[in-house]
């Protein structure tokens, strides 16, 4: 049994018992081939829950610090995240974004699902913030469809993204939308107006799924303020 299957077999039932997740539209994820899953990001455990509610193994970018800890906790985190599909990337510095983009492209070109949070960071206040155009670049470079998704209630289970999830913190929901096809923009992955239009269309779908208030600024700027 692969580590991914083992993680799902052990933690999947535990997730259902503790948080009673309501999963809607998971059948909208194609059974094979490349697909981009693009969603909101409320708290740390979003990246732990997503791999447990999908049939296919989903790959995603994570901070390399999640897998470099030497303590028992650090080693357990590394075992879980790399087994669940996390690809560690050093995202600090000017080349971090390029490395993440190229990693996502490789995963998609190998025919795998790739998950991304277009906001680029966790929401500071539960609202949905402006998406960064890396999602659009990936979609146009690879031709992969985009399945929007929304995490609902995870920030109540783990407020501020810190500490252990709260048992009895409420029920969580994960909603997947219909696949979005951007093949009409083929060859236009360097057009910034097209990239912004594609990104905004994805974020509009995420907003409809999540019911969040939308803020047309980047989350990193809101955090800095």
Structural domain including 54 reads 20-61+97-223
90: left (phi over 0), alpha (psi -120 to 50) or beta: beta
CB 31 within 8 A of CB 113: no
Q: How many domains does the chain have?
A: 1
CATH of the domain at 192: 3.40.1130.10
Instruction: Examine residue 170 and state whether it is found in any structural domain, yes or no.
Output: yes
**Confidence tier at 71 by pLDDT (50, 70, 90):** confident
Q: Is residue 81 part of a domain?
A: no
Question: Whole-angstrom Cα distance, residue 161 to residue 77?
Answer: 15
Q: How confident is the model at residue 91 (pLDDT cuts 50, 70, 90)?
A: low
113-162 pLDDT, tens digit each: 999 999 999 999 999 999 999 999 999 999 999 999 999 999 999 987 77
How large is the average pLDDT for residues 101-117? 95
Decide if 79 is inside a domain.
Answer: no
Contact between 61 and 116 (Cβ < 8 Å): yes
Q: Which of 45, 102, 57, 54 is nearest to 82 (CA)?
A: 57
The reply to whether 208 falls in a domain is yes
What would the two tokens of residue 162 be?
């810190």
Kindly state the average pLDDT of the residues 181-189: 95
Do the domain assignments include residue 25? yes
Whole-prediction pTM: 0.91
Residue 198 in any domain: the answer is yes
Q: Decide if 107 is inside a domain.
A: yes
Q: Is residue 158 part of a domain?
A: yes
71 Cβ neighbours under 8 A, 6+ residues apart: none
Answer with the residue of higher pLDDT: 111 or 20: 111
């Amino acid at each position: 049994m692969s580590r991914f299957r083992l993680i799902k077999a052990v933690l999947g039932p535990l997730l259902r018992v503790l948080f009673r997740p309501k999963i809607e539209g998971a059948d909208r994820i194609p059974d094979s081939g490349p697909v981009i899953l693009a969603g909101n990001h409320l708290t740390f455990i979003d990246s732990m829950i997503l791999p447990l509610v999908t049939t296919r193994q989903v790959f995603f970018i994570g901070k390399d610090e999640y897998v470099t800890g030497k303590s028992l906790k650090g080693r357990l985190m590394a075992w879980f995240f790399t087994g669940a599909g996390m690809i560690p990337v050093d995202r600090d510095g000017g080349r971090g974004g390029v490395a993440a983009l190229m990693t996502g492209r490789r995963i998609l070109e190998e025919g795998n699902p790739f998950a991304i949070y277009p906001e680029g960071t966790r929401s500071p206040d539960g609202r949905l913030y402006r998406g960064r155009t890396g999602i659009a670049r990936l979609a146009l470079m690879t031709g992969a469809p985009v399945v929007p998704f929304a995490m609902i209630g995870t920030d109540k289970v783990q407020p501020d993204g810190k500490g252990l999830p709260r048992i009895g913190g409420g029920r969580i929901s994960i909603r997947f939308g219909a696949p979005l096809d951007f093949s009409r923009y083929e060859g236009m992955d360097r057009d910034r107006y097209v990239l912004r239009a594609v990104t905004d269309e994805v974020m509009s779908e995420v907003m409809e799924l999540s019911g969040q208030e939308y803020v047309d600024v980047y989350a990193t700027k809101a955090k800095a303020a």
